[in-house]
A and B are shown apart, each in its own frame.
Chain A
Amino acid sequence: MDLAPQLVNFVARYVPYLAQGFALTLALAAASVPLSLAWSLAILLPRLSKRHWLAAVAAAYIEVMRNTPLLIQMYLIYFGLPLFNIFLSGFACGVLAITLQHGAFLAEVLRGGVESVSARQWEAARAIGMRNRQAFRLVVLPQAVVKVVPPICNQLIVLVKDTSLVSAIGVMEVTLSAKVIIERTGASYEVFVAVALFYLVMTTALGAGLRVAERRLALRFG
């Protein structure tokens, strides 16, 4: 079988055409991952709030995000915002949509972690004189984060794959670049094999990196 050299061959042929797309996909991922993590923490606090209406609003938001496709949310932002005289680039709309959706999913994962931390940890923290807020930040949240690192890693990998959807609103990331190459040059489906390999390398590298981070965290807090 000379499948492997053949594969390398046509991957190599399209790399120069796809280089910009690769870069843009990496940029999308680099912007969306930290923003989604930050947003998930921002939703987690009201979701866990003792004020019922605040928790209900956060829960409703999470339900809407969980039960509607990212693509439609992205369209709503990209085509809807200009009607309110807000003009954002395709890139910004894509990052915003990904952050809003994945922030909600990550918040749910985090909430599962927080609720799995034993009530005794709260009580112990309160007993040594910590305020609620301190107890949450110094005792509960670190333990919760360590518990949920594996599902968070999975979610971040899904997030990185979802950056491909930004192609639907005209951002020339790697998926759209491949489609355009096929349409302009009559190239064949091999372009998408190259794109698939690129994503595979990216998600595998991310997964490996996150596993290292997981081990470090577990050593520090676990």
Chain B
Amino acid sequence: MFHVLIISLPYLLKGAVVTVWLSLATISLGTLLGFALGTAGAVGPRPLRAAVTAYVFVLRGVPILVVMFLGYYVFPALGYRVDAYVAVGAAMVVYVGAFVSEIVRGAILAVPSGQIAAARSLGMRRGPMLREIVFPQAFRMAIPPLLNTALTTIKQTSYVSVVGAWELSYAAREVVERTLAAFEIFLGVMVLYFIICYPLSVAARHLERRYAFAS
């Protein structure tokens, strides 16, 4: 019954490899951007904090698919010819950055004020206090929600196929167009995504529980 799926599996696996690379690239770059923005949004100067708030507000209110389309059409309009992957990848990084920044900002602000008061009373300056007291505690708290964001991002890489970048979902549609075996192919592709995502979601839940006990 599943022979079309078995024959197409090598092609789909190629797509899965692209999906994994795209996920790794957008998650790592988006997380870097989010850490920078989130830190600025929590402890930066006031205008910077306001800018980060506005950035997060706008991006969180708009679907990622719309941001991808914007990325796809905005580069040519500005006179740049870029690869479809670069355009949608940039859109994803910008989007992921907003969500990560909100997590990081929240985590920094959630460090108990007693910790800051204690550091001050020991005579620590602001820089070392942030580096040695606030950030380590904040980043520890941020890990489980960051893993959840990474999970969401992996699933969202499938949307780049709608804009026109080739990866697992695009490959799946190609195979279905050729073979018409919609049910088994999409079911098989769901299994592939599940295999990619499940370890991460187990890790996220495990850490959530561990840190819940710790605090």
Contact = CB atoms under 8 A, between A and B. Distances in A.
B145 to A, nearest CB: 12
A196 interface: yes
Interface string A179-222: 10010000011001101100110011000000000000000000
Contacts of A175: 63, 65-66, 69
A175 B186 CA distance: 23
Given A69-B169, A189-B73, A204-B61, A79 B176 contact: yes
B186 A199 contact: no
A192 B61 contact: no
B162 A168 contact: yes
B190 A68 contact: yes
Contacts of B156: 69
Contacts of B197: 66-68
B62 A196 contact: yes
Given A79-B186, A165-B162, A68 B63 contact: no
Contact of B155 (A64, A68, A84, A157): A68
A112 to B, nearest CB: 10
B173 interface: yes
B186 A196 contact: no
Given A69-B155, A72-B193, A76-B186, A178 B69 contact: yes
Interface of B: 58, 60-67, 69-70, 73-74, 77, 151, 155-156, 158-159, 161-162, 169, 172-173, 176, 182-183, 186-187, 189-190, 193-194, 197-198, 201
Interface of A: 63-64, 66-73, 75-76, 79-80, 82-84, 157, 161-165, 167-168, 175, 178-179, 182, 188-189, 192-193, 195-196, 199-200, 203-204
A199 B61 contact: yes
Nearest to A193: B70
A176 to B, nearest CB: 9
A200 B62 contact: yes
A189 B77 contact: yes
Contacts of B62: 161, 196, 199-200, 203
